[in-house]
Amino acid sequence: MYQFSSKLKMFSIILMVAGLLGMAYGFINVPKDTHAMEEILNAQSQGHDTHATADSHAKKDTHAEDSHKVASHDNAHVGKDEHQEHLEHVLKQYKNKPWSAFFITAFFFFMLSVMVLVFYAIQWASEAGWSITIFRVMEALTAYILPGSILMLIFLFASGFHMNDIYVWMGDHAAHDELIQAKKWWLNIPSWLIRSVLYLAGYNIFRYFLVSNSLKLDATKSYKTYIRNKNIAVGFLLFFAVSELFLAFDWLMSLDPHWFSQLYSFYVLASMLVTAITTIAMVTIYLKSKGYLPQVTNSHLHDLAKFMFGFSIFWTYFWFDQFMLQWYSNQPEETVYFVPRLLGAYQLPFISMLVLNFVLPVLILMSSDFKRLNWFIMIAGLSIIVGHYTDIFVLIAPATVGDQYSFGIPEFASILFFLGLFIFIVFRALAKVPLQAVGNPFMTESENFHY
């Protein structure tokens, strides 16, 4: 039996507490009205002036004038109404920052756990033998689905009840937008919330039966239980295949209701699937370093590393396919999505994520020998996890906070809280059950898996 160490438990709790304090600060510290917003913009303008002074006096004058025009929208060039409208728009972006940080990290960890369940269900449905020794790792990682669902529901209902302005199609001005009105049969708050509840309920129900039957199999060693779980896994995969298509549209793509991509759901799936497999590998390596999972060999880790390598290329294919087709067609309604990401404020994280998600994993894991070295897998794993968190950030932030984004206290605090909660839930789940699925009929095959 695995023992959840007091040091790791305390570490996770410290992360959660620090994260909660930081998130609370983020919500409390948002500007309250347009007057406060104008003061912030003026302060930023003065900061630009000071920086310009350090460069040259002449440059300062020009830059200060330009910054002042951007910050205060000098009425000599724009009217008071337009200036006020700009302030209200930027105020909404600032108020969205703590909500956006919460949403990005909540979605990332929730979908990571769901995709572990998908990978786990694939093992059952395909009657795979090699992976049985790491079943308990996958089952523990899926334990986060329930608390992750609750946190996602908090955000979704807060959005539905207009506690934030994350989804522009929920705002009052959407009534004058013909394109949004044309999508109103699908993008309306009641049906959007109902669908979201169905997604979350389905994942939790399937997870409960899959894991409980797996544990029951240890006691009964019944072939009927094994077949029942295999059939449940097939049913879950069918449910997920349909639900994820709509989930990605409802939760993410509708952030930009004027833009669409037929590859979007598959892109999100590829991003989170490689992240899930990477997390399985890293937790397995950690447990082996502590003396657990003796049946797990380099061959098991080699296979996980091959999945990390292969699905990194799989994700890159969808990224390039979506980008290339829309760049080549050069339609304004499509390219508008990539302008802030490739050419605007998000250029650095956009390009960085390509390096972290494709270049580094491929270079590190290309060699078959490197796939058997734990520390190489861990380095590639860290690159993939950071890269795909950045990927989710780039998917969400441009539509929610615009060019007002930053990696400040709300963003780091959200990462700390959700990481701490994830560690606490997963390792507590590991400590509750034996680490070997002894009742599975393919256990012997998994223990003798060498090549």
Question: Look-up: residue for tokens 């298509």?
Answer: 245
pTM of the model as a whole: 0.90
> What pLDDT shows up at residue 91?
81
Q: What stretch of H or E contains 53? A: helix 34-55
Residue 330 CB contacts under 8 Å (≥ 6 apart), including other chains: none
Distance in angstroms (rounded) separating the CA atoms of residues 169 and 380: 39
Rounded to the nearest 5 percent, the helix, strand and coil shares of the chain are: 80, 0, 20
69 CA to centre of own chain: 37
Instruction: DSSP for 130-144, please give it.
Output: TTGGGHHHHHHHGGG
> What pLDDT shows up at residue 63?
43
- How many CA atoms within 13 Å lie on the side-chain side of 355? 6
Nearest partner of 147 among 433, 430, 417, judged by Cα? 417
One digit per residue, the tens of pLDDT, for the chain of length 451 reads 889 999 999 999 999 999 999 999 999 988 887 777 777 777 777 765 554 444 444 434 444 444 444 444 444 444 667 777 777 778 888 888 999 999 999 999 999 999 999 999 999 999 998 999 999 999 999 999 999 999 999 999 999 999 999 999 998 878 888 889 999 999 999 999 999 999 999 999 999 999 999 999 998 888 999 999 999 999 999 999 999 999 999 999 999 999 988 899 999 999 999 999 999 999 999 999 999 999 999 999 999 999 999 999 999 999 999 888 888 888 888 888 988 998 888 999 999 999 999 999 999 998 888 888 899 999 999 999 999 999 999 999 999 998 878 888 999 999 999 999 999 999 999 999 999 988 888 888 888 887 7
Spatial contact of 36 and 442, defined as CB atoms under 8 Å apart = no
Phi, psi of 40 (to 5 degrees): -65, -45
Which tokens go with 428? 């507590």
> What pLDDT shows up at residue 66?
46
Instruction: DSSP for 85-129, please give it.
Output: HHHHHHHHHHHHHHHHHHHHHHHHHHHHHHHHHHHHHHHHHTT-S
Question: Look-up: residue for tokens 């997963």?
Answer: 426
Q: Is 291 left (phi over 0), alpha (psi -120 to 50) or beta?
A: left
> What pLDDT shows up at residue 56?
44
